[in-house]
Amino acid sequence: MPLPPPLFENDVHATLRSAARRWARTEIAPFAHAWEEQGEFPRALYESAAAAGVLGIGYPETYGGAGGDLSHVLAAAEEFILEGKSVGVAVGLGSHRIALPPILLVGTEAQKQKFLPPVLRGEQIAALAITEPGGGSDVASLTTRAVREGDHYLVSGAKMFITSGCRADFLVTAVRTGGDGHAGISLLVIEREHGFTVSRKLAKMGWWASDTAEIAFDGCRVPVSNLLGEEHQGFVPIMMNFSVERLLLASNCVAIAELAYRESMAYARERQAFGRSVSGFQVTRHKLADMATRLAAARALTQEVLQRHLRGEMVTGLAAMAKNAATDMCSAVCDQAVQIHGGYGYMREYVVERLFRDARLYPIGGGTREIMNEVISKTEGY
Amino acid sequence: MKILVALKRVADPDNANKVKIPPSGDRIDTAGLEWKPNPFDEYALEAALRLTEDGKAPKARAGEVVVVTFGPKETEQTLRAALATGADRAIRVDVTDDKLDGALVARALKALVEREKPDVVLMGKQAVDGDSNQVGQSLAELLDWPMATFAATIQEEQGALLVGREVDGGVAVLRVRLPAVVTVDLRIVAPTSVYSLKTARTHKYNDGVRFAALPAIMASKKKPLAEVKLADLTADSGLKVQYHGFEPPPARKAGIKVKDVADLVARLKNEAKVL
């Protein structure tokens, strides 16, 4: 049975989903395996996505976006994964989802006009640079330093695990402009021409089609006009970004697990063993039933948090819960998907093998499972 | 130019295996099917949009594109999607598929054409569910209008359309004076297939049907969508085609393995009797 339409979606979402689905089927799916193996997808794909109107969803039309809210963003992103069948491509295309919001939130009108439209036209790539080689979760102790010299900052330090960093035209970068702790952090847009260097393209367990970089700043001269918001006030916009990022990641997980589940169902019907299809065995059916149940539960929670966020509620704790529920579910479903596929599930030519590796990122990226539990502990008040 | 595009909603042809026939065999069970616009009708809409614009500025419509479908309330989703890609207005004739055949749709469309007075009626060469390939031809006959079927290219001229049709051994080019009925084939959405008078001949469209962007999808909710009763279009709702039974195609049998080429040839000759 096809899924009934998502509970909180209307026919605008349905039409948007069908456009995103058609784009992903023709522009991603035929090349998904090759791009994953090559560890990269063509830059032209950004422009293709922009031309089809699926890149700038969730951004104001004034800056070249396509309008809509987070529910539209998640609907389109889900279709990219379900129909494009490459998580790496979907997340690579989506790196602006975490890089641009700080500009939108605290940037000046001139900064918005300068940085948003080229990215939303697919001409430039934006990346967010917060994590460092010496620390990820502990944002408040980052060490990349920006020293004011006239109307420039001199930036020195390094950033780690930067999605789309190898090809990025600019990095929205967290730097230390003041003393220790969160009160000394600022956000700077560091452009390619300011001279950041990609130290290396990192080899990863999953997300192969998306590039991930280690970046070095060795005295980059960045004009003060690229400071986002007030000096030393970078910590709050970074934190405000997180709830949305966690919802995005939870929704990715729901889509990845749905894809793994669909692939498993199809395989179990087709594959013969002991004279009948694998789905003819109760043990397989029960595996699939458990997968479907966990998937439905994580989808329901993710949707609830999304709806509360759209209503304007603070969802810090709930978003962390949704992320943990969805990532745990996704890892478990992908593991069972590989099991149902047997030997073929261990082979690179099968989608579930790739999804199994892709899934492992989610309890780590965007705040680890453990940090999520700290956030939940705090919001619950223990 | 004013163009009327007839759109039909069909069961997703990529999921044809979900079509079920109840044991009675008197109908097709449509529960649980996914619906989408008939692809050839989507191509007709794309052609209509290309004919009413300058390819360089596709947001401005020169003329009017009206889409019409025959179906229950749910088919308004199909019409809204058409409005989102650029059509100006939509009409839904309230009826269900089992009460229709090609001749009745053509009679009703004739009445609608007399109301709307379009310069061109565009539609797919056929719907991919029934594959009847009748409505365009019947409509042109009822209206006594010129027609061109299976269009692969269309160029607008002053008061006429130059239509290229792929036929065995070449391309036939027809000039149809307006008003006219044109049915389209799949190559109509190639990059250089359709030119309005406004579009430069050097312009190349993206291959395929255009995408509806989110702002247009939202704006489509405000575009007019009218409901018409079938009885208001034609008093004669009798069917010329009646279905007497349905059965699924026979299940595919397992193949056999042959030893060698000699065995293959022998079996083709003696068992399959194709040599």
The answer to whether position B63 is within a domain reads yes
Summarised one tens digit per residue, pLDDT across range A365-377 is 989 999 999 999 9
Residue A4 has what pLDDT? 65
Cα A319 from Cα A117, distance rounded (Å):
29
- The chain-wide mean pLDDT, for chain A, equals 94
Best of A10, A15, A61, A74 to mutate (most B CBs within 10 Å, chain B): A15
Cα→Cα distances B160→A35, B9, B179, B195, Å: 47, 30, 8, 13
**CB < 8 Å to B216, chain A:** 53
Residue A139 pLDDT level (bands cut at 50, 70, 90):
confident
What's the distance, CA B123 to chain centroid?
5
Sign of the CA dihedral running A362, A364, A365, A367: positive
Sign of the CA dihedral running A298, A304, A308, A309: positive
State the nearest Cα–Cα gap between B172 and chain A, in angstroms: 31
Do the chains contact at A15 and B218, CB–CB below 8 Å? no
Does 1.10.540.10 match the CATH number of domain A11-94?
yes
The answer to whether position B275 is within a domain reads no
Provide the residue range defining the domain that includes B32: 2-270
Cα A105 from Cα A245, distance rounded (Å):
14
Q: Which domain CATH number covers B32? A: 3.40.50.620
Cα B121 from Cα A116, distance rounded (Å):
43
* B213 vs A2, A14, A66: nearest CB: A66
Fold of A236-379: Butyryl-CoA Dehydrogenase, subunit A; domain 3 (1.20.140)
pLDDT over 70, % of chain A: 99
Summarised one tens digit per residue, pLDDT across range A29-59 is 999 999 999 999 999 999 999 999 999 999 9
Cα A14 from Cα B270, distance rounded (Å):
55
Residue A135 has what pLDDT? 80
Do the chains contact at B211 and A14, CB–CB below 8 Å? no
> What is the mean pLDDT of the segment spanning A273-299?
95
Picking from B67, B16, B45, B40, the residue whose alpha carbon sits closest to that of residue B127 is: B40
**How is chain B split among helix, strand and coil, in percent rounded to 5?**
30, 25, 45
Cα A324 from Cα A374, distance rounded (Å):
12
* B214 vs A18, A23, A53: nearest CB: A53
Specify the length of chain A in residues: 382
Planar angle of CA A316, A321, A322, nearest 5 degrees = 100
Each of the 275 residues of chain B gets a pLDDT tens digit; together they read 999 999 999 988 777 777 888 889 888 888 878 888 999 999 999 999 999 999 999 989 999 999 999 999 999 999 999 999 999 999 999 999 889 999 999 999 999 999 999 999 999 999 998 899 999 999 999 999 999 999 999 999 999 999 999 898 899 999 999 999 999 999 999 999 999 999 999 999 999 999 998 999 999 999 999 999 999 999 999 999 988 899 888 888 878 888 999 999 999 999 888 88
Domain ranges of chain A: 11-94, 126-232, 236-379
Taking one residue from A and the other from B, the number of pairs with CB-CB distance under 8 angstroms is: 50
Picking from A20, A35, A28, A34, the residue whose alpha carbon sits closest to that of residue A210 is: A35
Best of B205, B217, B221, B225 to mutate (most A CBs within 10 Å, chain A): B217
> What is the mean pLDDT of the segment spanning A189-203?
94
Picking from A298, A375, A26, the residue whose alpha carbon sits closest to that of residue A18 is: A26
Cα A25 from Cα B36, distance rounded (Å):
15
Virtual torsion, Cα B187, B192, B198, B200, nearest 10 deg? 180
* B214 vs A18, A51, A72: nearest CB: A72
Summarised one tens digit per residue, pLDDT across range A330-366 is 999 999 999 999 999 999 999 999 999 999 999 999 8
Do the chains contact at B81 and A18, CB–CB below 8 Å? yes
- Residues of A taking part in catalysis: 245
DSSP notation for A263-329:
HHHHHHHH-EETTEEGGGSHHHHHHHHHHHHHHHHHHHHHHHHHHHHHTT---HHHHHHHHHHHHHH
The answer to whether position B214 is within a domain reads yes
Summarised one tens digit per residue, pLDDT across range A298-330 is 999 999 999 999 999 999 999 999 999 999 999
The set of residues, in sequence order, having a beta carbon less than 8 Å from that of A116 and lying 6+ positions away, is A59, A63, A64, A65, A100, A103, A104
Q: What b/e readout covers B121-131, taking b as 16+ CB neighbours within 10 angstroms?
A: bbbbbbbbbbe
Summarised one tens digit per residue, pLDDT across range A92-135 is 999 999 999 999 999 999 999 999 999 999 999 999 999 999 88
| A105 CB burial (10 A radius; 0-12, 13-18, 19+) | middle
Residue B28 has what pLDDT? 84
Residue A3 pLDDT level (bands cut at 50, 70, 90):
low
Q: Give Rg (Cα) of chain A.
A: 21
Cα→Cα distances A263→A86, B16, B209, B222, Å: 13, 18, 29, 39
Lowest mean pLDDT among A30-44, A150-164, A237-251: A237-251
Cα A185 from Cα A183, distance rounded (Å):
6
Q: Give Rg (Cα) of chain B.
A: 21
Cα B58 from Cα B102, distance rounded (Å):
33
Cα B198 from Cα B192, distance rounded (Å):
14
Residues facing A228 on adjacent strands: A187
Residue A23 pLDDT level (bands cut at 50, 70, 90):
very high
Picking from A64, A92, A139, the residue whose alpha carbon sits closest to that of residue A366 is: A139
**DSSP one-letter code for B206:** P
Q: Write down the pTM of the prediction.
A: 0.87
Count of domains for chain B = 1
- Domain at A126-232, CATH class: mainly beta
The set of residues, in sequence order, having a beta carbon less than 8 Å from that of A377 and lying 6+ positions away, is none
Chain A CA closest to residue B12: A2
Beta strand A212-223 with A170-176 is unpaired
* B211 vs A2, A23, A72: nearest CB: A23
Residues of A with CB under 8 A from a CB of B: 1-2, 11-12, 14-16, 18-19, 22-23, 26, 51-54, 57, 61, 66-68, 72
